């Protein structure tokens, strides 16, 4: 099936000159050149001058689409390439999932005080207004701020104790729930029409962006314009996730228990027992864009998935919190979104900027959990106050563990530090002037020259535990089975494993293939993973064919 784009491209034209000017100074791409990546972007959409994909073929693919592969079929090969690849993902996500997010309206004005923010918007002869309340922390400003959807997100006491202000945002003033799709209400729809195909999640995100506009215009005496976070839980978690994805000025995105329509991959939800079906998430409220109705029964034809949305946040701060005790919330699909999106973070040299945490004891929906308190403080300090450097972590519950190997047929490239291989003005159907240095089917590490197999391990370590991902690569000849041996450090123990059988849980442990991943073609790879307690540092895997 081929569907063309009927959405206006005025957004790209309006701010292309501003982004081009920033590009000339290096401001557009500097964030991708730094492994620190502490600062948010200077503009809402850095890729506004990049080509807009035209019609795309919607072919069925049960695996997660390759986030590194452009619409024209080539793969990106430098970190600078990500800017326009991200713009492609943004366009496709708007077109098929969320609906269009218009650029900044012709006029945005308002006020910022120690207790409130007002926003007044005018565009094409229409106007609307809304407001949000403000609670400042102790101390002397200006302060960073976290926009809290509906007063229902990360613990506001912890946010303020960490030194950030709380902006309490009622998204219903911008896009009201309980309305039919052909008669949407709220400040967004007063400007763009009540029959707009844009869903509530994107309308709410537009409202957050207009709040940031007003903070930028206020002079920064009370709130800092360069240090904004966003959080929400449940439906507000969906909204917070989308806000952080689609505004690159947001330095820290913290969705909580967002469920279907939020962070969990669309492709995983139909197979995850007890999770809210896509048709239910689409029909419960007009959260998603109208166009998503074509995919509720078959998400495999989507050209993007939520792992791509996770990737769009990179390299900015992202802290995804999930609850594995409630099946409806699809935490297994959420962990797969985080694991796949984290591959883009790693490729950009910003792997420390993403945290995923579902390892919680309490199953109460949207509770203030003690497990999240310390990482919440650390991420606010790192990304908003710029005073910390805590590394991100993956704390995946054994109740709902993701398995990235089941969901991808692509490998993560090693991205260079050079300039873009395709200039932003090149139409998407034109091949790049410099072909990608890493073919799509080539593993990022060189395969062994002899027969047999090799194994390598990558680690996500936190205090008291870790997740290990092991890659098995065949040599010059194919193999039909394999065994990986590894000695765990003293005190370490395997608590859960996937895509593999194992012998033993501590000390010298052997891992053998399962039925579907024993056969590996020459030079190709497969992966398995396991979660452990203690430390995994220093493990050296060896592989022998069987």
Q: Give me the active site residues, please.
A: 234, 365
Can you list the pairs that 325-329 forms with residues at least 24 positions away whose Cβ atoms lie under 8 Å? 325/360, 325/362, 325/363, 325/399, 326/257, 326/363, 326/365, 327/272, 327/273, 327/274, 327/275, 328/259, 328/274, 328/275, 328/276, 329/257, 329/258, 329/259, 329/264, 329/275, 329/276, 329/365
Instruction: Tell me how far apart the alpha carbons of residues 123 and 90 are, in angstroms, rounded to a whole number.
Output: 23
Cite the beta strand spans of 234-311 per DSSP E: 250-256
Closest by alpha carbon to 389, among 32, 8, 38, 13? 38
Check if the beta carbon of residue 430 is closer than 8 Å to that of residue 409. Answer: no
The residue assigned the tokens 């200077």 is 42
Check if the beta carbon of residue 56 is closer than 8 Å to that of residue 304: no
Bridge partners (DSSP) listed for residue 468: 459, 530
Q: Give the separation between CA 356 and CA 359, rounded to whole angstroms.
A: 9
User: Where does 298-445 have alpha helices with state H?
Assistant: 306-313, 331-347, 370-380, 404-407
Among residues 303, 305, 311, the alpha carbon closest in space to that of 330 is found at 305
């Amino acid at each position: 099936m081929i569907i063309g784009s009927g959405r206006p491209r005025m957004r790209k034209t309006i701010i292309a000159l501003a982004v081009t000017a920033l590009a000339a100074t290096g401001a557009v791409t500097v964030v991708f050149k730094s492994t620190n990546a502490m600062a948010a972007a200077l503009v809402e959409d850095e890729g506004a001058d990049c080509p807009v994909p035209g019609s795309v073929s919607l072919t069925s693919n049960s695996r997660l689409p390759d986030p590194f592969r452009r619409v024209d079929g080539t793969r990106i090969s430098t970190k600078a390439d990500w800017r326009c690849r991200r713009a492609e993902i943004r366009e496709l996500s708007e077109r098929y999932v969320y609906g269009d997010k218009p650029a900044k309206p012709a006029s945005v004005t308002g006020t910022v005080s120690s207790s409130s923010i007002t926003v007044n918007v005018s565009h094409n002869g229409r106007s609307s207004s809304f407001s949000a309340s403000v609670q400042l922390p102790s101390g002397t400003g200006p302060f960073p701020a976290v926009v809290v959807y509906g007063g229902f997100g990360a613990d506001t006491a912890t946010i303020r104790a960490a030194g950030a202000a709380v902006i309490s945002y009622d998204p219903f003033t911008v896009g009201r729930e309980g309305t039919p799709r052909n008669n949407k209400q709220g400040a967004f729809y007063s400007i763009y029409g009540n029959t707009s195909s844009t869903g509530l999640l994107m309308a709410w995100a537009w409202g957050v962006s207009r709040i940031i506009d007003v903070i930028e215009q206020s002079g920064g005496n009370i709130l800092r314009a360069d240090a904004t976070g966003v959080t929400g839980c449940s439906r507000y978690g969906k909204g917070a996730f989308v806000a952080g994805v689609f505004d690159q000025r947001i330095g820290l995105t913290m969705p909580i228990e967002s469920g279907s329509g939020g962070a969990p991959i669309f492709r995983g939800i139909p197979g995850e027992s007890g999770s809210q079906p896509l048709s239910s998430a689409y029909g419960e409220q007009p959260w998603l864009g109208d166009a998503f109705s074509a995919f509720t029964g078959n998400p495999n034809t989507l050209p993007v998935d939520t792992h791509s949305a996770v990737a769009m946040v990179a390299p900015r701060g992202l802290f995804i919190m999930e609850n594995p005790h409630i099946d409806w919330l699809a935490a297994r699909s959420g962990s797969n979104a985080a694991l796949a999106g984290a591959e883009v973070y790693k490729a950009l040299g910003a792997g420390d900027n993403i945290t995923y945490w579902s390892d919680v004891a309490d199953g109460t929906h949207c509770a203030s959990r003690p497990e999240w308190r310390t990482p919440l403080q650390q991420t606010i300090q790192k990304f908003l106050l710029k005073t910390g450097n805590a590394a991100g972590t993956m704390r995946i519950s054994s109740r709902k563990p993701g398995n990235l190997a089941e969901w991808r047929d692509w490998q993560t490239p090693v991205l260079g530090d050079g300039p873009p291989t395709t200039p932003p003005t090149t139409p998407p159907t034109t091949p790049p002037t410099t072909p990608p240095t890493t073919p799509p089917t080539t593993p990022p590490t060189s395969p062994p020259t002899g027969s047999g197999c090799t194994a390598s391990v990558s680690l996500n370590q936190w205090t008291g535990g870790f997740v290990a991902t092991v890659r098995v690569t065949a040599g010059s000849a194919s193999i039909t089975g394999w065994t990986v041996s590894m000695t765990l450090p003293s005190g370490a123990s395997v608590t859960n494993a996937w895509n593999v059988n194992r012998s033993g849980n501590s000390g010298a442990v052997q891992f053998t293939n399962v039925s579907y991943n024993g056969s590996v073609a020459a030079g190709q790879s497969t992966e398995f993973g396991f979660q452990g307690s203690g430390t995994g540092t220093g493990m050296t895997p060896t592989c022998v064919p069987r």
